[in-house]
Structure 1
Amino acid sequence: MTAERHDDAPGSGRSRRADRLLPLLIAASLAGAALLGRSALGPHPGRAAPAGVDMNGRPVQLDPGAGPAPQQRQQQDAKPEGAGRFVVPSVGLDVPLGTMNEVAGSVVPPGFASAFLIVNLGAPTSPATGTVYVAMHSLRWGAVGPGNYLFAPETGTSKVAPGAAVLAGGVRYVVDGATAVPKAELPDADAIWADVPGRLVVLTCLERPDNSPAVDNFVIVAHLDPSGGDPR
């Protein structure tokens, strides 16, 4: 992946629209095979040690070359919680909302059981003035990440209907819709990266029923609910 210099400081809340965004790398097309059955109790023989655990506490192994480099991990400054909760009541999703930076055009959440607020994109601390971006893992081979709650892999369709409520860090949103975007096309998807006031964009990988690596990102778009309140 070709690097591009950005002089904006982390946490500046900048829009990436003008940068034409470098490839965004999210979730389990890159991170993904959970160890199942007896091997779920520990590392699979002959394979790398687990990178973390899924929402059910089972070890998750990264695909080869999928993990961020040590320097990138440091620059992510990721925390798996601390920004409240990410809740989609209609599908039973309720996980910690952590924080992380996009680094060099790449977003690879470091944890598999949290959603992550991207603090240097859009307007993460001022939802009424711009777009809030949240990324999370989905996983293959029976493992469960937050993203797995959002879509049906058999059909590639959303489980979260338009009009459904989403709570991100105590802020209530109403879902407008969802779409699949080929990973190669996501960097140039201007409609997604436009810094629109009062908008939430949720990103994960769209897993496939044959457990092969994902080729699409799954994107949910929502708007601030003017009535406010907790959707639960």
Structure 2
Amino acid sequence: MMGTAALIAATVILAAGAAGVIATRAVPASGPVDLKGNVVHLDPGDTPSPQILQRMHAVTNTGSRFVVPSVGLDVPLGSLDVVDDEITPPGFTSAYRVDNLGVPLSRAAQGTVFVVMHSLRGGGVGPGNYLIDVDAGTSRVHPGAIIRVGDLTYTVTGSQTLRKSAVPDKSSLWANTPGRLVVFTCLQVPAQTESVDNLVVLARLEVGAK
């Protein structure tokens, strides 16, 4: 786990937040694609450099799944590291566990598991789009819903919508709380302009799970 709450917060705000994109159908695909096969075009400045990508040690598929049955989300679970206080998932079809925050899945009962994913605008569909109700500006994942992270099962306890600028001061998010899951994505807006808020979904590990 990283040393300070401020450092952790600074990374995760952008982690789920890059997601200012426009997606267009292209045959053959000429870049990264979303869950519908649309080519994703990142906003200027949102593309990590090759050097950053190398340091992220990103894996788009660890062999496990991230599943939220109530909203029909079922995608590969990848992993990545925080680099220079930022996280930008390299793909748009996976959820990513943050390796150097919180605890690994094998120690989920002892701490917090952090997961980040992209949501997209402009017609794109990333994993995070399943979690958000754009028109209402809220979460589609309600308390009591199940989230499966690999072999682990979590029950959703609630969600928060936070200004990205406010996330660094939300110290309760960064506490390494036993048996907790924290999921970040961007909350897109009906006008399809740049996202300024994060949706944070919170869940607890089911009794008897690892």
> What does the per-residue CA deviation read over 1:118-154, in whole Å, with 9 as the maximum and x for residues that have no partner?
0000012311111000000000011100000001000
Give the one of 8, 22, 26 matched to 1:41.
Answer: 26
Structure 1 residue 227, shift from structure 2 partner:
4.5
1:90 aligned counterpart, secondary structure: helix
Provide structure 1 residue ranges, at least 5 long, that are not aligned to the other structure.
1-12, 44-48
Aligned partner letter, 2:186: C
2:60 aligned counterpart, secondary structure: coil
Structure 1 residue 185, shift from structure 2 partner:
1.2
Give the one of 108, 112, 116 matched to 2:88.
Answer: 108
Give the one of 123, 131, 137 matched to 2:118.
Answer: 137
> Is the contact made by 2:117 and 2:127 (CA closer than 8 Å) also made in structure 1?
yes
Q: How many residue pairs are counted as aligned between the two chains? A: 208
Quick one: structure 1 residues 149 and 16, their matched pair in 2 at CA, closer, same or farther if it must change by over 3 Å?
Answer: farther
Quick one: structure 1 residues 143 and 96, their matched pair in 2 at CA, closer, same or farther if it must change by over 3 Å?
Answer: same
The structure whose residues are more often strand, as a share, is 2
Tell me the equivalent position of 2:143.
162
Give the one of 14, 18, 22 matched to 2:10.
Answer: 22
The runs of at least 4 aligned residues of structure 1 exceeding 3 Å deviation read: 13-16, 18-21, 27-31
Provide structure 2 residue ranges, at least 5 long, that are not aligned to the other structure.
none
Give the one of 160, 163, 167 matched to 1:179.
Answer: 160
Matches within 5 A, 1:51-62: 51-62=31-42
- Report the aligned-residue RMSD: 2.0
Aligned partner letter, 2:188: E
Tell me the equivalent position of 2:130.
149
The structure whose residues are more often helix, as a share, is 2
Structure 1 residue 92, shift from structure 2 partner:
0.4
Structure of greater Rg: 1
In 2, distance between residues paired with 1:156 and 1:25? 19
Aligned partner letter, 1:34: A
